[in-house]
A and B are shown apart, each in its own frame.
Chain A
Amino acid sequence: MASEQQARSVSLSELPRDELLAYGHSLGLTLAQGTPQGELLRRIRERQELLVELEHEALLDIVVWARRPIRQSAGKEELAQHIAEIRQADFAGLSHRGLTALARLRGLDVQPGMDRKAIEAALKKCEGIWNRIRRKRRALIGTVLVKLLHEDSGQQQGEYRFLPEESKPSLKAHIEEEGMVGGIARKLRGVADNYVHEKLDEIEARIDQKLDEIDKRMGEWRDREVSNRLKILKITLIVSILVALLSLGYDYLRSRLPGTVGPEQPVSLFQSEPGGAILVGVGQRSASWKRVFGKCTNDLPSVLRRSLKSLPQPSPANTTWTMLGPNMFCWPSNAKAPGWERVCFMSPTSPQPA
Chain B
Amino acid sequence: MSEFDLFSVHRRALMIVVGTYSVIRLIQSIWRWRIGGLAAGRHETLLRRWVELSLLRVRIRRFVFDVLQIVLLAAILIYLLWLHVG
A-to-B contact residues, CB < 8 Å = 141, 144-145, 148-149, 218-219, 222-223, 226-227, 230-231, 233-234, 237-238, 240-241, 243-245, 247-248, 250-251, 254, 288, 290-291, 297-299, 306
Smallest distance from the beta carbon of A274 to chain B beta carbons, Å?
Answer: 13
Q: Is B40 at the interface (CB under 8 A from chain A)?
A: no
Contact B84 A244, beta carbon cutoff 8 Å:
yes
Interface members, chain B 24-71 (any A CB < 8 Å): 49, 52-54, 56-59, 62-63, 66-67, 69-70
Using A238-B73, A241-B80 as known contacts, say yes or no to A299 and B86 having CB atoms under 8 A apart: no
Contact B70 A241, beta carbon cutoff 8 Å:
no
Complex: A306 Cα to B82 Cα, angstroms: 12
Contact A288 B86, beta carbon cutoff 8 Å:
yes
Chain A residue nearest to B22 in the complex (CB): A236
B-to-A contact residues, CB < 8 Å = 1-2, 5, 7, 11, 49, 52-54, 56-59, 62-63, 66-67, 69-70, 73-74, 76-77, 80-81, 83-86
Complex: A288 Cα to B73 Cα, angstroms: 22
Residue in A233, A291, A298 with the greatest tally of chain B CB atoms within 10 Å: A233
Smallest distance from the beta carbon of B52 to chain A beta carbons, Å?
Answer: 6
Complex: A299 Cα to B81 Cα, angstroms: 22
Smallest distance from the beta carbon of A284 to chain B beta carbons, Å?
Answer: 13
Contacts of B86 in A (CB 8 A): 288, 290-291
Contacts of A234 in B (CB 8 A): 66, 69-70, 73
Contacts of A247 in B (CB 8 A): 7, 11, 84
Contacts of A148 in B (CB 8 A): 49, 52
Complex: A219 Cα to B1 Cα, angstroms: 60
Contacts of A241 in B (CB 8 A): 73, 76-77, 80
Smallest distance from the beta carbon of B57 to chain A beta carbons, Å?
Answer: 7
